[in-house]
């Protein structure tokens, strides 16, 4: 079953995939972000809005405990409290664009970084750099990367988190657009994590770009060369 999403359109989605509710608002935001005519200022503004929705949704999938509080009226309120600590980890460079959205929701949140690039000789994703919170093994981890394409870098990044003691089921992989190939690859290797995404596209082209996609997210967000 798809949590919080369009079960008609993606009836076969695995339960680990949390698709944002496909509202007209989300569709309108994604139409601006995907449009090749959208200028950088609007690209940043509207992708930040989607990122905020994604982070809010990811936080819904953390554990909560019952919490009774007193209001200024003297009455009790049967509420909930967050259980457990969280952190973010961005996959550089595009994932860094999602850090502010996480900070906007979680004040003072710790954010680690992982840099993975394709090794030219082996064509395999290779870890170049990582800097993670020292107590990451005790935290729920929001792994940030806007585009899940082949799943190669994602799986390497997840491997790094697991090597640092983060249990698979405490990882929430947050992205704007997924290719089905990426979802399949990630969940085949790590069936206990969750993927939180805004939209799932048709697939990859021969250059491993997501189709219809939005081009190169990092280049459009940071204003560098690219598609
Ligand atoms: N990364 C991007 O920025 N775009 C894609 O389509 C695939 C990976």
Give the Cα separation of 64 and 131 in Å (integer): 28
Nearest CA to ligand 1 atom 5: 209
Q: What is the percent of the chain with per-residue pLDDT over 70, rounded to a whole number?
A: 94
Taking the CA atoms of residue 140, residue 141, residue 147 and residue 148 in that order, the dihedral angle to the nearest 10 degrees is -70
First to last CA, the chain: 35
Using the predicted structure, report yes or no on whether residue 47 has a pLDDT greater than 90: yes
pLDDT at position 121 is 83
Residue 125, pLDDT score: 92
Strand partners, 113: 90, 131
Q: What is the pLDDT of residue 227?
A: 53
pLDDT at 88 over 60: yes
- Whether 4 has a pLDDT exceeding 60, the answer reads no
pLDDT at 219 over 70: yes
pLDDT of 1 > 50? The answer is: no
Average pLDDT over residues 40-57: 98
- Which of 152, 154, 182, 208 for a ligand 1 pocket mutation test, highest count of atoms within 8 Å of Cβ? 208
146 alpha carbon, distance to own chain's centre: 6
When pLDDT is averaged across residues 165-188 and rounded to a whole number, the result is 98
Percent above pLDDT 90 for the chain:
89
118 compared with 35, residue with greater pLDDT: 35
Pairing verdict, β 76-82 and 85-92: unpaired
Helix (H, G, I), strand (E, B) or coil at 76: strand
Of 114, 108, 100, nearest to 54 by C-alpha is 100
Does 5 or 226 have the greater pLDDT score? 226
Q: Which residue has the CA at smallest separation from atom 3 of ligand 1?
A: 216
Nearest residue (by CA) to ligand 1, atom 4, is: 216
* CA of residue 211 to ligand 1 center, whole Å: 9
Give yes or no for residue 79 having a pLDDT over 60: yes
Mean pLDDT of 151-175: 97
- pLDDT recorded at residue 18: 98
pLDDT for 24: 98
Q: Which atom of ligand 1 is nearest to the CA of 226?
A: 3
Residues with CB under 6 A from ligand 1: 94, 147, 149, 209-210, 213, 216-218
Mean per-residue pLDDT, 78-95:
96
Confidence of residue 12 (pLDDT cuts 50, 70, 90): confident
**Contacts of residue 194, Cβ cutoff 8 Å, sequence gap at least 6:** 16, 17, 18, 61, 171, 172, 173
pLDDT at 9: 62
C-alpha–C-alpha distance, residues 142 and 125, integer Å: 21
Ligand 1 centroid, distance to 147 Cα (angstroms): 5
Q: Stretch 28-43: mean pLDDT, rounded?
A: 98
Architecture category of domain 17-222 in CATH:
3-Layer(aba) Sandwich (3.40)
């Amino acid at each position: 079953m798809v949590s919080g999403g369009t079960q008609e359109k993606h009836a076969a989605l695995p339960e680990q995939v949390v698709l944002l509710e496909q509202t007209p608002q989300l569709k309108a935001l994604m139409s601006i972000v995907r449009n090749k005519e959208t200028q950088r200022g609007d690209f940043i503004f509207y992708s930040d809005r989607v990122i905020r929705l994604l982070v809010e949704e990811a936080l819904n999938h953390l554990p909560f405990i019952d919490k009774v509080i007193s209001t200024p009226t003297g009455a009790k309120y049967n509420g909930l409290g967050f259980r457990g600590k969280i952190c973010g980890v961005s996959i550089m460079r595009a994932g860094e664009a999602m850090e502010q959205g996480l900070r906007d929701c979680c004040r003072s949140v710790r954010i680690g970084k992982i840099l993975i690039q394709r090794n030219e000789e082996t064509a395999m994703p290779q870890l170049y750099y990582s800097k993670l919170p020292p107590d990451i093994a005790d935290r729920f981890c929001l792994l940030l990367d806007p585009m899940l394409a082949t799943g190669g870098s994602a799986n390497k990044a997840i491997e790094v988190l697991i090597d640092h003691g983060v249990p698979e089921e405490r990882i929430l992989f947050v992205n704007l657009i997924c290719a089905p190939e990426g979802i399949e690859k990630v969940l085949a290797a790590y069936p206990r994590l969750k993927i939180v995404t805004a939209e799932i596209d048709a697939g990859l082209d021969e250059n491993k770009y997501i189709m219809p996609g939005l081009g190169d997210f990092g280049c459009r967000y940071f204003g560098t060369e690219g598609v």
